[in-house]
Structure 1
Protein backbone atom coordinates (compact mmCIF):
# COMPACT_ATOMS: atom_id res chain seq x y z
CA UNK A 1 0.00 0.00 0.00
CA UNK A 2 1.39 3.43 -0.93
CA UNK A 3 1.96 6.37 1.39
CA UNK A 4 -1.06 8.18 -0.04
CA UNK A 5 -3.44 5.26 0.47
CA UNK A 6 -1.99 4.57 3.95
CA UNK A 7 -2.61 8.18 4.87
CA UNK A 8 -6.19 8.12 3.57
CA UNK A 9 -6.90 4.86 5.40
CA UNK A 10 -5.66 6.35 8.68
CA UNK A 11 -7.53 9.60 8.10
CA UNK A 12 -10.78 7.68 7.56
CA UNK A 13 -10.17 5.43 10.60
CA UNK A 14 -9.17 8.02 13.21
CA UNK A 15 -11.30 10.63 14.95
CA UNK A 16 -9.68 13.44 16.94
CA UNK A 17 -10.34 12.89 20.64
CA UNK A 18 -8.02 15.20 22.65
CA UNK A 19 -4.90 17.36 22.45
CA UNK A 20 -3.09 18.38 25.60
CA UNK A 21 0.29 19.37 27.03
CA UNK A 22 2.06 16.41 28.64
CA UNK A 23 4.83 18.61 30.01
CA UNK A 24 6.34 22.02 29.48
CA UNK A 25 9.51 23.78 30.55
CA UNK A 26 10.50 27.40 30.19
CA UNK A 27 13.20 29.62 31.63
CA UNK A 28 15.25 32.75 31.24
CA UNK A 29 18.97 32.59 32.04
CA UNK A 30 19.89 34.03 35.46
CA UNK A 31 22.08 36.73 33.86
CA UNK A 32 19.38 37.72 31.35
CA UNK A 33 16.96 40.56 32.11
CA UNK A 34 14.19 40.60 29.49
CA UNK A 35 13.03 44.04 30.59
CA UNK A 36 16.41 45.60 29.84
CA UNK A 37 17.65 43.73 26.79
CA UNK A 38 18.18 44.74 23.19
CA UNK A 39 16.22 42.00 21.42
CA UNK A 40 17.64 43.02 18.03
CA UNK A 41 20.73 40.95 18.89
CA UNK A 42 18.74 37.77 19.58
CA UNK A 43 17.56 35.11 17.14
CA UNK A 44 15.12 32.22 17.50
CA UNK A 45 15.86 28.55 17.02
CA UNK A 46 12.96 26.12 16.76
CA UNK A 47 12.50 22.44 17.54
CA UNK A 48 9.70 20.24 16.19
CA UNK A 49 9.84 16.45 16.49
CA UNK A 50 7.21 13.72 16.29
CA UNK A 51 8.71 11.66 19.11
CA UNK A 52 6.59 8.53 19.11
CA UNK A 53 3.18 6.98 19.36
CA UNK A 54 1.21 4.20 20.99
CA UNK A 55 -2.08 2.37 20.64
CA UNK A 56 -4.04 1.61 23.80
CA UNK A 57 -7.47 0.38 24.82
CA UNK A 58 -9.87 1.68 27.46
CA UNK A 59 -12.72 -0.39 28.82
CA UNK A 60 -15.93 1.53 29.53
CA UNK A 61 -18.65 0.76 32.10
CA UNK A 62 -20.52 -1.73 29.92
CA UNK A 63 -17.37 -3.77 29.28
CA UNK A 64 -16.77 -2.73 25.69
CA UNK A 65 -13.31 -1.54 24.78
CA UNK A 66 -12.43 1.59 22.84
CA UNK A 67 -9.05 1.88 21.14
CA UNK A 68 -7.01 5.05 20.87
CA UNK A 69 -3.93 6.17 18.99
CA UNK A 70 -1.74 8.62 20.93
CA UNK A 71 1.04 10.63 19.27
CA UNK A 72 3.74 12.60 21.13
CA UNK A 73 5.02 15.82 19.56
CA UNK A 74 7.88 17.86 21.07
CA UNK A 75 8.20 21.54 20.17
CA UNK A 76 10.39 24.36 21.37
CA UNK A 77 11.79 27.83 20.84
CA UNK A 78 15.20 29.06 22.02
CA UNK A 79 16.31 32.67 22.19
CA UNK A 80 20.05 32.89 21.55
CA UNK A 81 22.52 35.67 20.87
CA UNK A 82 22.96 36.24 17.16
CA UNK A 83 26.72 35.69 17.34
CA UNK A 84 26.06 32.22 18.84
CA UNK A 85 23.58 30.98 16.22
CA UNK A 86 26.13 28.76 14.43
CA UNK A 87 27.31 27.17 17.69
CA UNK A 88 25.11 24.14 18.42
CA UNK A 89 26.27 24.12 22.05
CA UNK A 90 25.42 27.76 22.73
CA UNK A 91 23.44 28.48 25.87
CA UNK A 92 20.06 30.08 25.24
CA UNK A 93 19.15 33.24 27.14
CA UNK A 94 15.58 31.95 27.21
CA UNK A 95 13.83 28.75 26.19
CA UNK A 96 10.26 27.47 25.93
CA UNK A 97 9.55 23.79 25.26
CA UNK A 98 6.46 21.61 25.40
CA UNK A 99 5.50 18.01 24.76
CA UNK A 100 2.00 17.56 23.39
CA UNK A 101 -0.15 14.45 23.19
CA UNK A 102 -2.69 14.12 20.43
CA UNK A 103 -5.21 11.33 20.97
CA UNK A 104 -7.42 9.84 18.28
CA UNK A 105 -10.24 7.36 18.70
CA UNK A 106 -9.68 4.39 16.42
CA UNK A 107 -12.89 3.70 14.51
CA UNK A 108 -11.13 0.69 12.97
CA UNK A 109 -8.99 -1.04 15.59
CA UNK A 110 -7.41 -3.25 12.90
CA UNK A 111 -5.72 -0.35 11.09
CA UNK A 112 -2.16 -1.27 10.14
CA UNK A 113 0.97 0.18 11.72
CA UNK A 114 2.23 1.74 8.47
CA UNK A 115 -0.96 3.77 8.09
CA UNK A 116 -0.70 5.00 11.68
CA UNK A 117 2.95 5.93 11.19
CA UNK A 118 2.21 7.93 8.03
CA UNK A 119 -0.65 9.72 9.80
CA UNK A 120 1.54 10.54 12.82
CA UNK A 121 4.36 11.95 10.70
CA UNK A 122 2.26 13.80 8.11
CA UNK A 123 -0.86 15.02 9.88
CA UNK A 124 -0.71 15.15 13.67
CA UNK A 125 1.50 18.24 13.78
CA UNK A 126 -1.18 20.19 11.93
CA UNK A 127 -3.58 19.40 14.78
CA UNK A 128 -1.06 20.23 17.53
CA UNK A 129 0.24 23.42 15.90
CA UNK A 130 -2.52 25.86 17.01
CA UNK A 131 -2.08 24.72 20.62
CA UNK A 132 1.69 25.22 20.37
CA UNK A 133 1.26 28.68 18.82
CA UNK A 134 -1.02 29.75 21.67
CA UNK A 135 1.24 28.26 24.36
CA UNK A 136 4.38 29.87 22.92
CA UNK A 137 2.74 33.29 22.65
CA UNK A 138 1.39 33.00 26.19
CA UNK A 139 4.74 31.94 27.67
CA UNK A 140 6.58 34.73 25.80
CA UNK A 141 4.16 37.19 27.36
CA UNK A 142 4.58 35.74 30.86
CA UNK A 143 8.40 35.71 30.57
CA UNK A 144 8.46 39.27 29.21
CA UNK A 145 10.02 38.08 25.95
CA UNK A 146 9.26 39.33 22.45
CA UNK A 147 6.09 37.71 21.19
CA UNK A 148 6.93 34.93 18.72
CA UNK A 149 4.09 34.75 16.22
CA UNK A 150 4.43 31.41 14.48
CA UNK A 151 2.83 31.01 11.06
CA UNK A 152 -0.58 29.39 11.00
CA UNK A 153 0.74 26.37 9.12
CA UNK A 154 3.94 24.68 10.21
CA UNK A 155 6.56 22.86 8.22
CA UNK A 156 7.07 19.12 8.48
CA UNK A 157 9.03 18.01 11.55
CA UNK A 158 12.79 17.82 11.18
CA UNK A 159 12.77 14.14 12.03
CA UNK A 160 10.44 11.64 13.49
CA UNK A 161 10.32 8.28 15.13
CA UNK A 162 7.04 6.49 15.57
CA UNK A 163 7.16 3.40 17.73
Structure 2
Protein backbone atom coordinates (compact mmCIF):
# COMPACT_ATOMS: atom_id res chain seq x y z
CA UNK A 1 0.00 0.00 0.00
CA UNK A 2 1.55 3.32 -0.99
CA UNK A 3 1.55 6.13 1.48
CA UNK A 4 0.87 9.75 0.63
CA UNK A 5 1.07 12.86 2.70
CA UNK A 6 -2.10 13.99 4.45
CA UNK A 7 -2.61 17.56 5.63
CA UNK A 8 -2.17 17.57 9.44
CA UNK A 9 -4.95 20.13 9.94
CA UNK A 10 -7.38 17.97 7.93
CA UNK A 11 -6.36 14.91 9.95
CA UNK A 12 -6.98 16.82 13.19
CA UNK A 13 -10.39 17.95 11.89
CA UNK A 14 -11.24 14.32 11.08
CA UNK A 15 -10.22 13.14 14.58
CA UNK A 16 -12.36 15.89 16.12
CA UNK A 17 -15.30 15.19 13.81
CA UNK A 18 -15.52 11.40 14.19
CA UNK A 19 -17.88 10.20 16.95
CA UNK A 20 -17.36 6.53 17.83
CA UNK A 21 -20.58 4.46 17.73
CA UNK A 22 -19.84 0.76 18.13
CA UNK A 23 -17.75 -2.30 17.26
CA UNK A 24 -19.20 -5.53 15.90
CA UNK A 25 -17.36 -8.76 15.32
CA UNK A 26 -18.31 -9.96 11.83
CA UNK A 27 -16.19 -13.11 11.57
CA UNK A 28 -14.09 -15.20 13.93
CA UNK A 29 -12.11 -18.41 13.66
CA UNK A 30 -9.88 -20.45 15.93
CA UNK A 31 -8.11 -23.69 15.21
CA UNK A 32 -5.86 -26.04 17.20
CA UNK A 33 -3.40 -28.36 15.47
CA UNK A 34 -1.63 -29.94 18.45
CA UNK A 35 0.76 -28.66 21.10
CA UNK A 36 4.47 -27.84 20.73
CA UNK A 37 6.95 -30.25 22.26
CA UNK A 38 8.50 -29.35 25.61
CA UNK A 39 11.79 -28.12 24.11
CA UNK A 40 10.39 -26.96 20.78
CA UNK A 41 11.35 -23.41 19.76
CA UNK A 42 8.14 -21.52 18.92
CA UNK A 43 7.10 -17.95 18.26
CA UNK A 44 3.79 -16.10 18.38
CA UNK A 45 3.01 -14.12 15.24
CA UNK A 46 0.33 -11.47 15.06
CA UNK A 47 -1.12 -8.95 12.66
CA UNK A 48 -3.75 -6.24 12.57
CA UNK A 49 -4.90 -4.35 9.53
CA UNK A 50 -7.35 -1.66 8.44
CA UNK A 51 -9.13 -3.21 5.44
CA UNK A 52 -11.67 -0.69 4.18
CA UNK A 53 -13.91 2.24 5.01
CA UNK A 54 -17.49 2.35 3.74
CA UNK A 55 -19.37 5.68 4.01
CA UNK A 56 -23.17 5.92 4.02
CA UNK A 57 -25.78 8.60 4.72
CA UNK A 58 -27.35 8.63 8.18
CA UNK A 59 -29.92 11.33 9.07
CA UNK A 60 -27.91 14.18 7.58
CA UNK A 61 -24.61 12.80 8.91
CA UNK A 62 -22.08 10.43 7.39
CA UNK A 63 -21.79 6.96 8.92
CA UNK A 64 -18.31 5.56 8.34
CA UNK A 65 -17.96 1.80 8.79
CA UNK A 66 -14.35 0.68 9.02
CA UNK A 67 -13.47 -2.98 8.45
CA UNK A 68 -10.55 -4.26 10.51
CA UNK A 69 -8.83 -7.65 10.67
CA UNK A 70 -6.64 -9.24 13.36
CA UNK A 71 -4.87 -12.56 13.75
CA UNK A 72 -2.45 -14.43 15.97
CA UNK A 73 -0.80 -17.83 15.61
CA UNK A 74 1.84 -20.02 17.25
CA UNK A 75 4.39 -21.54 14.84
CA UNK A 76 7.76 -23.26 15.01
CA UNK A 77 10.58 -20.69 14.89
CA UNK A 78 11.91 -22.16 11.64
CA UNK A 79 8.50 -21.63 10.00
CA UNK A 80 8.34 -17.87 10.58
CA UNK A 81 7.40 -16.16 7.32
CA UNK A 82 6.14 -19.41 5.76
CA UNK A 83 2.56 -18.76 4.63
CA UNK A 84 2.00 -22.52 4.32
CA UNK A 85 3.21 -23.27 7.87
CA UNK A 86 0.87 -25.37 9.98
CA UNK A 87 0.49 -23.39 13.21
CA UNK A 88 -0.11 -25.12 16.54
CA UNK A 89 -3.00 -22.72 16.97
CA UNK A 90 -4.43 -19.79 15.10
CA UNK A 91 -7.08 -17.20 15.98
CA UNK A 92 -8.46 -14.70 13.47
CA UNK A 93 -11.17 -12.07 13.69
CA UNK A 94 -12.80 -9.43 11.53
CA UNK A 95 -14.57 -6.43 12.97
CA UNK A 96 -16.56 -3.40 11.89
CA UNK A 97 -16.19 -0.14 13.80
CA UNK A 98 -18.74 2.60 13.13
CA UNK A 99 -18.30 6.36 13.48
CA UNK A 100 -20.59 9.30 12.74
CA UNK A 101 -19.25 12.51 11.25
CA UNK A 102 -20.67 15.78 9.99
CA UNK A 103 -18.39 15.92 6.96
CA UNK A 104 -17.32 13.72 4.07
CA UNK A 105 -13.61 12.91 3.73
CA UNK A 106 -11.39 11.57 0.98
CA UNK A 107 -10.08 7.99 1.10
CA UNK A 108 -6.41 8.78 1.99
CA UNK A 109 -7.43 10.64 5.16
CA UNK A 110 -9.90 7.88 6.08
CA UNK A 111 -7.16 5.29 5.61
CA UNK A 112 -4.86 7.26 7.93
CA UNK A 113 -7.63 7.40 10.53
CA UNK A 114 -8.32 3.69 10.06
CA UNK A 115 -4.69 2.75 10.71
CA UNK A 116 -4.24 5.10 13.66
CA UNK A 117 -7.53 5.09 15.55
CA UNK A 118 -9.84 2.24 14.55
CA UNK A 119 -7.47 -0.43 15.84
CA UNK A 120 -7.60 1.13 19.29
CA UNK A 121 -11.39 0.79 19.35
CA UNK A 122 -11.32 -2.80 18.04
CA UNK A 123 -8.42 -3.99 20.20
CA UNK A 124 -10.32 -4.67 23.48
CA UNK A 125 -12.85 -6.82 21.59
CA UNK A 126 -10.01 -8.62 19.81
CA UNK A 127 -8.09 -9.23 23.04
CA UNK A 128 -11.15 -10.67 24.76
CA UNK A 129 -11.90 -12.96 21.79
CA UNK A 130 -8.29 -14.25 21.64
CA UNK A 131 -7.93 -14.80 25.38
CA UNK A 132 -11.30 -16.52 25.82
CA UNK A 133 -10.72 -18.66 22.69
CA UNK A 134 -7.21 -19.60 23.84
CA UNK A 135 -8.54 -20.59 27.27
CA UNK A 136 -11.18 -22.79 25.62
CA UNK A 137 -8.39 -24.42 23.59
CA UNK A 138 -6.42 -25.08 26.79
CA UNK A 139 -3.79 -22.45 26.01
CA UNK A 140 -3.85 -20.46 29.24
CA UNK A 141 -0.57 -18.57 28.93
CA UNK A 142 -1.47 -16.57 25.81
CA UNK A 143 -1.95 -12.88 26.55
CA UNK A 144 -2.48 -10.07 24.07
CA UNK A 145 -0.96 -6.77 25.20
CA UNK A 146 -2.12 -3.24 24.57
CA UNK A 147 -2.70 -1.92 21.06
CA UNK A 148 0.55 -1.25 19.17
CA UNK A 149 -0.32 2.33 18.20
CA UNK A 150 1.20 3.30 14.83
CA UNK A 151 2.36 6.75 13.86
CA UNK A 152 -0.43 8.81 12.33
CA UNK A 153 0.37 9.18 8.67
CA UNK A 154 -1.22 8.38 5.36
Count of residues paired in the alignment = 148
Distance 1:82 1:56 in 2: 44
Conserved 8 A contact 1:39-1:146: no
**Residue equivalent to 2:91:** 96
Distance 1:100 1:86 in 2: 25
Distance 2:15 2:130 in 1: 28
**Residue equivalent to 2:150:** 156
**Residue equivalent to 1:47:** 47
The TM-score normalised by the length of structure 2 is 0.81
Distance 2:56 2:13 in 1: 19
Which residue of the other structure, out of 66, 75, 88, is the alignment partner of 1:71?
A: 66
- 1:46 to partner: Cα distance: 0.8
Conserved 8 A contact 1:13-1:111: no
- Aligned pair in 2 of structure 1 residues 86, 113: CA closer, same or farther (>3 Å)? closer
Unaligned runs of 5+ in 2: none
Q: CA RMSD in A?
A: 2.6
Greater C-alpha Rg: 1
1:38 aligns with 2:42: no
Write out per-residue CA displacement over residues 77-96 of structure 1, whole angstroms, 9 at most, x where no aligned residue.
Answer: 01112332253421112110
The secondary structure found in structure 2 opposite 1:49 is strand
